[in-house]
Amino acid sequence: MEAEAQSPGARAAHWPFFLLLTVFLAAVFLMPSTAPLFHWLFPDLLRPVYTRASFFELTVAHCELVFASTAVAAFIGIGTALYVTRQSGKEFLPLVSALAAIGQTFPPVAVLALAIPLLGYGAAPTLVALVLYSTLPILEATIAGLYAVPGSARDAALGLGFSPAGLLWRIELPLAAPFIFAGLRNATIINIGTATIGSSVGALSLGSPILEGLSASNPAYVIEGAIVVSLLAVVVDRAFETLEQALN
């Protein structure tokens, strides 16, 4: 992977990102004008374009869900990882890493489903499920990253007179950053997907047209929602990729 990042092919990977971004924005804003196209594809449908909410509103709602949940998850995940890797939190490390590993085998849908009895319908259970689920990859990645810091680097830093806080901020976190970043990327992508399903419990998101289309046998709604949310996911994934390369 290291070698790939240096290749000219990978450097040229920037332009597809901006191209994708343009296509995504076009899809969001120009969806209403695609009515003739969908009408031509599905002549039987009375309403070929989803109009209950504009795709811009849906996208904003979707992004809010994802951003809020990922931010909270990052705060909890990184915080917990830092705590259990310090002397004072060492006691919890085995349980926390076991939980992070086992928790990730729980399917996101199941976590979403389990949040309903506690929180009812709407955006709240979706948000909680997203936070719960996406905390785990961030937590696991951060622990892995902190453990990947070479003992010699830590040793040398302490020997040179770093305080524990200085060691954390100036040595450990920068060295663990690529891992943490990968965890964040993973969590964000999972959240974009789970937020889509979140519309089944009543949260407004880009999944809403898909689910409504499925239940009302309107394939045009399904395609519209699917295209926009897929583009959103791919754009965000590429953005992370580009950032990752820039950071390296």
Partner 1 sequence: MLLVLGIAGGLTLVFGGFLDMSPNRLASGIALTAFSLSPTACAAIAAPLAAFILLAFVSNEKARSIATLLAAALLLYACLATAGLLAKHLASPDKPALRLSLGSAFWIPLACALFAFLDAMQRLQFGLVARVGFFALLCLPFAFMAYVGFFDALSLAKEFENHQAVFVQALVDHVLLVVLSLAIALLVAIPIIFAVRQKSGLQNLVYASLGVIQAVPSIALFGLLIAPLSALVLHVPALAQFGIGGTGRTPAIIALVLYALLPLVRNGVTGLDAVSPDVRDAAKGLGFTAGERALKVDLPLALPALLSGMRVVTVQAIGLAAVAALIGAGGLGTFVFQGIGQYALNLVLVGAIPIILLALGTDLGFQLLLSVARGQA
Rounded Cα distance between 232 and 234, Å, is 6
**Which residues ranging from 201 to 240 are in contact with partner 1 (CB under 8 A)?**
201, 207, 210-211, 213-214, 219, 222-223, 225-227, 229-230, 233-234, 236-237
Q: Which of 102, 153, 156, 216 binds partner 1 (CB under 8 A)?
A: 102
Does residue 8 touch partner 1 according to CB under 8 A?
Answer: no
Using DSSP's 3-state secondary structure scheme, residue 202 falls into coil
Distances (CA, A) of 176 to 20, 163, 182, 247: 30, 18, 10, 13
Provide the token pair at 232.
């959103």
Q: Which of 33, 88, 105, 152 binds partner 1 (CB under 8 A)?
A: 105
Stretch that binds partner 1, among 48-56, 114-122, 161-169, 170-178 (CB under 8 A): 114-122
Rounded Cα distance between 190 and 55, Å, is 21
Rounded Cα distance between 79 and 151, Å, is 21
Distances (CA, A) of 105 to 72, 136, 237: 21, 10, 22
Q: Which of 26, 98, 153, 243 binds partner 1 (CB under 8 A)?
A: 98
Stretch that binds partner 1, among 2-10, 53-61, 146-154, 167-175 (CB under 8 A): 2-10
Q: Which of 135, 142, 200, 218 binds partner 1 (CB under 8 A)?
A: 200
**Minimum separation from the CB atom of position 35 to partner 1 (A):** 16
**Which residues ranging from 128 to 187 are in contact with partner 1 (CB under 8 A)?**
none
